[in-house]
Structure formats: structure tokens, C-alpha cells
Amino acid sequence: MTSRHPARTLWALLMVLTLLLAACSTADDGDEETTDAAADDTAAEDEPADDEPAGDESADAEPADDAAADDEPAEEEPADDGGDDLLAQTDFFVQEDFEAQLALADATPEGPDDQPWLQQLDPTMVETTDFAVDGEGEVCFSNISEGNGWRAQGATTAQAAAEDIENVTLNYVDAEGDDNQQIADIEALVDGGTCDVLIVAPFTADALTPAVELACDAGLPVVVLASPVNSDCQTTYVSSIGGYLFGYQGAEFIVENAEPGANVLALRILPGVAELEWRWGAAVEAFRDSDVNVVAVEFTEQDPTATKQIVTDAIQRFGQIDAVWMDAGAAAIPTIEAFEDAGLEVPLIVGEDENQFLQAWAEGDLNAVAPTFPNYQWRTAIEAAADILEGTPVPERWIVPQPAIQTAEERDEAIAEELGPLFYALCGCRDLGSFPDAYS
């Protein structure tokens, strides 16, 4: 059949075709939008790495925070860094011993004022007539080590003092820091049968106690020096007052001279060493009852480079350090250098009686104190041995005074300009025949 209106039919077909194409086009566009959205979602799930840079950017922003901290040190509260926990008392602390040492510091010693190595605090004398010898006697001396300046100088003083005493021959052996070697040394000295007196300068009480008792059992009078053993068989034990006083003297100086709220940095060598724990325990007692803030307690391991970095870090972290306490003077010079390098005034500082610290104190006009563990006790041990050889009574516990160097006058008198930086001023050696050559 043929249409009577072919033009109308063609127009109608074109309209239908147009509508069909439009519908198909709309459907295609919708599919593309859905696919694009899914692609975006997938990209979002697969882009945690893109999130990390954002994290890094946050981290990168931290130096700005650090800089702000540097500019505003007061915003860092010491309490956030430990507070009272920093002043937790050491397990080595014994209240009775602490109080006894502080009491001895105020006691009047017996003996010549100008020879503190012969002075005695609260002595209880023991008879030695059974050990007296006719003529020359041999003093055997077992030292654990000359591995630090204090012990090396002490050994020098002991040998120099023996040379200046008539009828004394010194037989000295150094165990070079080895307990087993010192035990072997003592056994050899006892077995040798030539010793009239034995001096033992130990380090480890538990290890050396059997060797000391071996000597006692062999009938030898024994002088224990500077560090105790776990026995009372020795004839005398020679030392200065002790670690509690050392630690307290430095802390007391800070407490008395610092402003309320002052930031205190405490530097320790190592944990677990009795002498050093006693020093810290005494400082804790002083700081606990004060208005100062101990903001950090750090171990230096007696490494000057590490010490300087620790102090530098503390300055940056807390912004202001008003005082530095330390359990040994070896940390003093790197501490001073850290403040000088930072362009800061050296704060209240505790050192020791080493030449280099006393000289730095004088040159910098520092506000400082120097507790001491007097090296002259090594001479006291020789004097005790000489007394025993003569049958003269000696103190069962020969405690020599332990003064701190506190004033400019005391400091200047103590400095030995002719000797090196590591010379310990309270040596009891300046009248010995080999001084100063033996100490150069």
C-alpha cells in the first residue's frame, strides 16, 4: 500500500529516529558519570600514600613548633618531665648513715690542723702492739686500679709518702681493674710471707672480702682503704667521711643560692655504684625539701663529649638551666663549655677539687662549689701502716675530714699552678720529697 502523504510519513520517521538517538545519548552520558565517580572512589582508597605526605607536612611543621619552644622555654613545665619522680630515693639510701655523715661534717677532728691526713673524726682506738716489728718493715699494697685520675694520684701519693718514712719498704701491686687479679695479688702477697702489713684498696666489696679475710686469718694486720669490704677483720678502715656528705654539699650549695623555682640539671656517672648512689641519695634529700625544680637527671658515663651534648640538649629543651649538680667533677668542664658555646652565663655549678675546675672557676668568676673526696686518705693509709709497724694504736675506723672548697680564698689556695688539669688539690702531698715532680 502506498501512502497518500509521503512527506508527512518521512517527517514522522525522522522524529522517531531523533527521539531514539536522544534516548541513547542520555543513557551513555549517565554511564560515563557513574564510571567516573567509581574511579574517583577507587583513587581515594588507593591513595593513602598521598595522605602520608600530609602527615609528613605535619611533621615538617614540627620544627616550627620546636623553634617556638626554643623561643618560649617557659612553656615547658618541668613537672611534665618527671616532677617528683625524678627525686625518687635510691635503694642504696640509708637514713642513719646519711645523718651520721652530716653530723661528722660538723665534728671537730683530733690531730694537727695543718695535716688533715693525720686527723681523725670520732676515733675508737685499737691496739697494734702485737704487730710491731723491729727495724724496717714491709708494707704490701694491693690496689684494684690506677684507671682514673683520683686513684692514679692516690697511688703516687702512697708511694711518695712511703719513701719519706724511715724503716718502711713498700711492695706495691696494681690489679689494673680486675677483681680476680687483685684477689690473686693478695693471695701471692700473703703466701710470700714477707709482708708485715697489708693495705688493700678494693672496689668490689663482695669480691674482695674473702681475700681480705684470708690475709686476716694469716695473722696480717690489714688496712682497708677508701672503699669498704664486708668484714670487720681488718685492723683499720681508712676513708674520708663519705659519699652522702659529698652529694649533700653540692646540693645544699644549690638550694641555698638558687632562686625559688630554679631549674636544676643533675648529672650522674652511672647507676648502681654504691658511692655514687649515696651521693645522689643525699642530693635527693636536699632537693626534696627545697623550692628548686630538678628538671632532668642524666647519666654521662664520664664521657666528656656525651656530657656536653646532654647539657646542650637540656638548655634547648628547658630554655633555662639555673644550676647543675653532679656526682663527680669530671662533668664540670664539658658542662661549662656547653653553656659558653650557647652564649650563656655559666649557672650555679658543682665540681670537685681538680685543678682544671678550680682554674675555670677562678677565670670565669663562677658561682661554684667543690665538694671533695680528699686524695690525702691514700697518705693516711701509709701513716696507719707505719703506726702499726711501730705498735702504735690506730683508729678502728680512721675517718679523715672531708671539706668542700667553698670560697675564692680556699679555691686560690688549692690551685696548683705548676701542675696539670687533672691534679686533685687536696692531696696531702705538697710537703713530700717527690712533690711536684712525681705529679707532673
pLDDT at 113: 96
| Nearest-5° Cα angle at 326, 73 to 364 | 75
pLDDT at 114: 96
Alpha-carbon separation of residue 286 from 94, 249, 251, 280, 292 (angstroms)? 15, 9, 6, 10, 10
Per-residue b/e over 307-341, b at no fewer than 16 CB within 10 Å? bbebbbebbebbbebbbbbbbbbbbbbbbbbbbee
| Nearest-5° Cα angle at 110, 108 to 114 | 95
Rounded CA Rg of the chain: 38
pLDDT at 274: 86
Q: Which residues contact 393 (CB under 8 A, 6 or more apart)?
A: 125, 126, 127, 128, 387
Q: Label residue 177 left, alpha or beta by phi (over 0 means left) and psi (-120 to 50 means alpha).
A: left
- Report how far residue 66's alpha carbon sits from residue 88's, in angstroms, rounded to the nearest whole number: 30
293-299 and 263-268 as β-strands: parallel, antiparallel, unpaired?
parallel
Asked whether the beta carbons of 173 and 198 are under 8 A apart, the reply is no
pLDDT at 244: 98
pLDDT at 213: 98
Peptide bond into 436 cis (omega under 30): yes
pLDDT by position in tens, the chain (length 440): 334 444 444 444 444 444 444 333 333 333 333 333 333 333 333 333 333 333 333 333 333 333 333 333 333 444 444 455 899 999 999 999 999 999 999 999 999 999 999 999 999 999 999 999 999 999 999 999 999 899 999 999 999 999 999 999 999 999 999 999 999 999 999 999 999 999 999 988 999 999 999 999 999 999 999 999 999 999 999 999 999 999 999 999 999 999 999 999 999 999 998 889 999 999 999 999 999 999 999 999 999 999 999 999 999 999 999 999 999 999 999 999 999 999 999 999 999 999 999 999 999 999 999 999 999 999 999 999 999 999 999 999 999 999 999 999 999 999 999 999 999 999 999 999 999 999 99
Dihedral over Cα of 223, 249, 244, 333: its sign: negative
pLDDT at 84: 58
Asked whether the beta carbons of 333 and 319 are under 8 A apart, the reply is no
pLDDT at 124: 98
What amino acid occupies position 172? Y
Per-residue b/e over 402-435, b at no fewer than 16 CB within 10 Å? bbbbeeeebbeebbbeebeebbbbbbbbeebeeb
